[in-house]
Amino acid sequence: MRMILIWTGFFSPSFHEFPNDFARRPAHVVSASFRYRIGVASRAVAAIVGGYGVAALSAAALALCLPAAFGMARSEAVMTGTLASFIVFALAVMWVFAARTAWRAWSGLVIAAVLPGLLVLLMLTWAGGGGA
């Protein structure tokens, strides 16, 4: 039946009157399940990539700031920063999946990355490149 309707619609007089029939067709609607799957995929990428970025920045910030702030040995500061980054990564993953939308998850990760990123930048420029 459907093929007959398409076939007869092909030869209808309205087909010749409006050769550009795309304007009368309804817009393609994205299903709710597709949007949900894209949201979950975006959150998974945010958790993996964004969580790693925030954790790496926090590890670097702690490794650079702890010796300057508390006189800690550099090796101990690196170990402390690395161990603390596991907690930061776990918190970032929990935040990503607890946020209401994927946009809030991504924006929360960006906001969380600003402070350690600025600290790393400040410490590297203040220390003259961070090398010794």
Total of domains in the chain: 1
Asked if residue 42 has pLDDT above 90, the reply is yes
Do residues 85 and 55 lie in contact, with contact meaning Cβ atoms separated by under 8 Å?
Answer: yes
Is residue 47 domain-resident? yes
Residue-range definition of the domain harbouring residue 83 = 30-126
* 74 token code pair: 């550099």
Is residue 15 domain-resident? no
pLDDT band at 2, cuts 50/70/90?
very low
Q: Return mean pLDDT, the chain.
A: 84
Query: Exposed/middle/buried for 62, CB within 10 Å: 0-12, 13-18, 19+?
Result: buried
Q: What is the CA radius of gyration of the chain?
A: 27
CA–CA dist 85, 73 (Å, integer): 18
Is residue 64 domain-resident? yes
Is residue 101 domain-resident? yes
Is residue 90 domain-resident? yes
pLDDT digits (tens, 9 = 90+) for 53-96: 999 999 999 999 999 899 999 999 999 999 999 999 999 999 99
Asked if residue 8 has pLDDT above 90, the reply is no
Is residue 40 domain-resident? yes
Q: Where are the beta strands (DSSP E) in the chain?
A: none
Number of H helices, E strands in the chain: 6, 0
